[in-house]
Amino acid sequence: MPQMTMVQAITDALRTGLREDPRVVVLGEDVGLNGGVFRVTEGLQAEFGEARVLDTPLAENGIIGGAIGMALYGLKPVAEIQFVDFIYPAFDQIVSELAKFRWRSAGQYSCPVIVRAPYGGGIRGGLYHSQSPEAYFAHTAGLQVVIPSTPSDAKGLLLAALAGEDPVIFLEPKRLYRTIKEDVAEGVFHTPIGRTRTARSGEHATVLCYGAMVPVAVEAAESAAARGWSVEVLDLRTLVPLDSGAVLDSVRRTGRVVILHEAPRTCGYGAELAALIAEQALTSLQAPVLRVTGYDTPFPYTLEHTYLPDAKRVTAALEHVMSY
């Protein structure tokens, strides 16, 4: 079983999808000859040709609009947005068209487009290359929202998305592209969409997180262990559909919850998690639900690591819920 970074695992998933299904096509800015800004699609155009790995103009609304047309005619397009920060010109195509086709056709038409985009901070990209807009898409009925945190999950979730018939927003934590390496199975395998992963088991508190915040949560849980606190870290993996059963089971067992994400706090996805817990597990709580998040400001450049949640901020939240 080869070891891969997340970039290599996503490349392998795309290559596997292109080989296994002639309907799969990849399109986006510089994805062909140059292999993408992060080299995720490197070598794919040389192997599969320009008809299946297409370089597009710098027009995100055209990329997504074209992908929608391809899907309606029977293809399975994987559209790359170079940075998720550039996705907004295509927002109307995604939320008003892509997400609605199955509903507006009463199930007669599916529109299986995967929109891949690197998201989040951690690489000194500044305010135009570091945003985390997952809550916008989680709020849109008809879209699945997937965010892996490990190379193996990145491959398995992407292949699962390719096997499905619904549109998927596939957000890739670029901070983890080359910082984590692990064994990744060769060939086709699917990581089920809608299932959490227990990144660390625990009994005294639960940290709910996803994407680049999973290693941060694990680091904080390891620090907490030195103080005798057993902290469970749940990697959500998919925000929509959410594995609410696993979330509630963990919360009811530990009675204390910290929610962690790098997106801004107000109306972030953590607010939905807090509401779910308040509605269905309130009597199990031994302390208030706490959120550790980014701030309600544009993403900074020089103060990037002040903005991003770190293990110290998570540990401080754990201290609060454990001493409440």
Given the structure tokens 């879209």, which residue do they identify?
Answer: 143
- What is the Cα–Cα distance from 15 to 169, expressed in whole angstroms? 19
- What is the Cα–Cα distance from 148 to 146, expressed in whole angstroms? 7
Going from the C-alpha of 304 to that of each of 32, 267, 298, the distances in angstroms are: 31, 21, 11
Beta bridge partners of 241: none
Select from 170, 205, 225, 201 the least CA-distant residue to 286: 205
- Is 320 an active-site residue? no
Q: Strand locations in 29-133, DSSP E? A: 53-55, 76-80, 114-119
- What is the Cα–Cα distance from 305 to 123, expressed in whole angstroms? 10
Beta bridge partners of 3: 183
Select from 18, 4, 151 the least CA-distant residue to 78: 18
Q: Where are the alpha helices (DSSP H) in 167-264?
A: 213-225, 244-254
Tokens read off for 161: 């998305």
Strands 24-28 and 53-55, bridge-based pairing: parallel
- What is the Cα–Cα distance from 271 to 273, expressed in whole angstroms? 5
Strands 182-183 and 3-4, bridge-based pairing: antiparallel
- Supply the Cα-derived Rg of the chain in whole angstroms: 19
- Burial code (b: 16+ CB inside 10 Å, e: under 16) for 280-302 equals ebeeebeeebbbbbbbeeebbee
Q: How many of the other CB atoms lie within 10 Å of CB of 72?
A: 15
Active-site positions? 129
